[in-house]
Chains A and B, each alone.
Chain A
Amino acid sequence: EPEVTQTPSHQVTQMGQEVILRCVPISNHLYFYWYRQILGQKVEFLVSFYNNEISEKSEIFDDQFSVERPDGSNFTLKIRSTKLEDSAMYFCASKQGAYEQYFGPGTRLTVT
Chain B
Amino acid sequence: AQSVSQHNHHVILSEAASLELGCNYSYGGTVNLFWYVQYPGQHLQLLLKYFSGDPLVKGIKGFEAEFIKSKFSFNLRKPSVQWSDTAEYFCAVNPYPYGQNFVFGPGTRLSVLP
Task: Please say whether chains A and B are actual partners in one complex.
Answer: no
* Residues of A bordering B, CB below 8 Å: none
